[in-house]
Structure 1
Amino acid sequence: MTERRTALACLIPLLLIGAVFFYGFLLWTGWLSLTRSGLMPSNDFVGLRQYERLLLDPRWQAALWNLLRFGLGFVLLPLVLGLGLALLLDQKLRGEGLLRWIWLHPMALSMVVTGSAWRWLMDPEQGIAEGVRALGWTSFRWDWLAQEDMAVYALVVAAVWQITGFVMAIFLAGLRGIDDSMLQAARLDGARGFTLLRRVILPQLGPSLASALLVLLPAAIKTFDLVVVLTEGGPGQASELPAFYMFQMAFERSRLGLGAASAMVLVMMVLSIALPYAIVRSRKAAA
């Protein structure tokens, strides 16, 4: 009993501090989004006017379009590549531990480090482009960072490079959890190759897919540091994502109310992904 009270005495202050810094500041941000806050917070209530301005802002609309393009690449490519790598490692390859470490290593890096590395690699006058030209392909150029229609895909390349190993690990855990007797029975029934994959293996990876999506979708919505380091939202606003828009409105353009409104929209986007998953899991646990 004494140990339990000691544990509670240690945990309760931490829980209270976490609640204040998370829920407290979340509520405060929600209140600011309903006010006329500019450079400094204000209590001048304006209702949903900041949300109206946000939805009508062409820059916000462009950021959402960039998020759609970035999100599709950031979600679909790691799922496909991660599944392929997991299937490859599941063949009990020699040196599997080394390969797993190589593919997981980028996940240990921060987005700031990833962005800095890829900014050099994608530099039109250095990095990969210079290396290819040195091999004799003198006309080769990789100038996505300078092209308005390609800059967002430079973000996709860097983000996919970092996250794919993590998705591979999720799928590999799912593959290793499939009952061998089920696979043997399917093979005895004549299932081979793609048929075995489509009819037996993939249906068993539903939980792994859900876990991967639960990580990838919110991560795409919240992507900020990679934009700051790799493209700075440019050229122009060609690679600006909603989180970068929120930061600039709140802290660089002295439009705190508008920035708070965009932050609340991002919170609602993340909750629209996390809450349905939590509800389904709770219902399954109660069943």
Structure 2
Amino acid sequence: MQAGLRNSLSKIVVAPTLAMVLVFVYGFILWTTYISFSASKMLPIYEWVGLENYIRLWSMGRWHTAITNLLIFGVLFIGTCLAIGCMLAVFLDQKIRGEGALRTIYLYPMALSFIVTGTAWKWLLNPGTGIQQFMIDLGFADFRFDWIITQEFSLYTLVIAAVWQSSGFVMALFLAALRGVDQEIIKAAYLDGASLPRIYWGIIIPSIRPVFLSAIVILAHLAVKSFDLVLALTGGGPGYASDLPATFMYEMVFRRNQMGIGAASAMMMLATVMAIIVPYLYSELRGGRRGER
């Protein structure tokens, strides 16, 4: 009787959260899906128009710019975070003095919101008050670092800020994986005369390959849904040179009164995230089944 009461109590406790997730996550996903096929403008209009919003979306130059920017931003963001995070993890894995303090310093940016990160980097990259002005005050009159107001380079300021915030998190993932590597294998490699770089490159790094995949999935998800960082740092500008799909969707829905097109862009973002997560989940489940056999 007590066991049944405990099971019932656990279901009662979880039920409100489950109901909220079903309504406010999956319910609104379904609602957004329908809106993307409707004639909605400033307000929802449930008149079915089929693929018209998707056709209009993919005929817009700004959407193509946003997709291209996402590709560039995602590749640079993910690649740089993986490289820096891996190097920091290998550095801390050497049991150096002050490891705890350094680990905290590297992880601290992840505790900040993207709004705070974007605002701080906007101050630093402002040509009139930030790094450029600081170097000019030091006597380097020809120094220029005005990427944030340059159409060709504003996107890369997003990469700088995003990498600063997320590389410490990747470092923590890799460091945990490194500490889980079988030390007997490493000792055997030492006895065979292998150098430390060769041990890391040939033995340790390949053994933590699943962590690379997990990090890529997490970072790709952050890249696709990047909104607050863009809004705080560049606002999508100059013009829409640093526009991403999330800011494009916001612009369509709340400033252009094109709810149908905004919903269509949201569904494209969801499809991108699903294209990343579903293969990852499939590989994890298949690996788990193999392990059970």
TM value normalised by structure 1: 0.98
Aligned to 1:102: 105
Amino acid corresponding to residue 278 of structure 1 in structure 2 = L
Question: What are the within-5 Å matches in structure 2 for residues 11-90 of structure 1?
Answer: 11-90=14-93
Question: For 1:124, what is the secondary structure of its paired residue?
Answer: coil
Return the alpha-carbon distance in structure 2 between the equivalents of residues 284 and 207 of structure 1: 11
Amino acid corresponding to residue 241 of structure 2 in structure 1 = A
Do structure 1's residue 267 and structure 2's residue 288 form an aligned pair? Answer: no
- Alignment partner for residue 158 of structure 2, among 141, 155, 158? 155
Return the alpha-carbon distance in structure 2 between the equivalents of residues 84 and 14 of structure 1: 40
Aligned to 1:10: 13
Question: What are the within-5 Å matches in structure 2 for residues 1-287 of structure 1?
Answer: 1-287=4-290
Residues 75-108 of structure 1: CA distance to partner in whole angstroms, max 9, x if unpaired?
Answer: 0001000100000000001000010011100000
CA drift of 1:49 comes to 1.2
Residues 141-172 of structure 1: CA distance to partner in whole angstroms, max 9, x if unpaired?
Answer: 21111100100000000000000100000010
CA drift of 1:193 comes to 3.4
Residues 194-224 of structure 1: CA distance to partner in whole angstroms, max 9, x if unpaired?
Answer: 3222210111111211121111001101100
Return the alpha-carbon distance in structure 1 between the equivalents of residues 103 and 13 of structure 2: 38
**Percent identical across equivalent pairs?**
45
CA drift of 1:13 comes to 2.2
CA drift of 1:120 comes to 0.2
- Greater shift after overlay, 230-239 or 1-10? 1-10
Question: For 1:142, what is the secondary structure of its paired residue?
Answer: coil
Amino acid corresponding to residue 129 of structure 2 in structure 1 = Q
CA drift of 1:137 comes to 1.1
Residues 22-45 of structure 1: CA distance to partner in whole angstroms, max 9, x if unpaired?
Answer: 110000000000011111111111
- Greater shift after overlay, 257-266 or 11-20? 11-20
RMSD: 1.0
Return the alpha-carbon distance in structure 1 between the equivalents of residues 115 and 285 of structure 2: 36
CA drift of 1:18 comes to 1.1
CA drift of 1:3 comes to 2.0
Question: For 1:92, what is the secondary structure of its paired residue?
Answer: coil
Return the alpha-carbon distance in structure 2 between the equivalents of residues 175 and 190 of structure 1: 21
Question: For 2:118, what is the secondary structure of its paired residue?
Answer: helix
Amino acid corresponding to residue 96 of structure 1 in structure 2 = E
Return the alpha-carbon distance in structure 2 between the equivalents of residues 238 and 64 of structure 1: 11
Amino acid corresponding to residue 6 of structure 1 in structure 2 = L
Return the alpha-carbon distance in structure 2 between the equivalents of residues 223 and 95 of structure 1: 34
Amino acid corresponding to residue 65 of structure 2 in structure 1 = A
- Greater shift after overlay, 80-89 or 65-74? 65-74
Amino acid corresponding to residue 73 of structure 1 in structure 2 = L
Give ranges in structure 2 of 5+ residues lacking alignment. Answer: none
Amino acid corresponding to residue 181 of structure 2 in structure 1 = I
CA drift of 1:47 comes to 0.8
Amino acid corresponding to residue 20 of structure 2 in structure 1 = I
TM value normalised by structure 2: 0.96
Return the alpha-carbon distance in structure 1 between the equivalents of residues 198 and 95 of structure 2: 21
CA drift of 1:184 comes to 1.1
Question: For 1:209, what is the secondary structure of its paired residue?
Answer: helix
Return the alpha-carbon distance in structure 2 between the equivalents of residues 97 and 200 of structure 1: 26
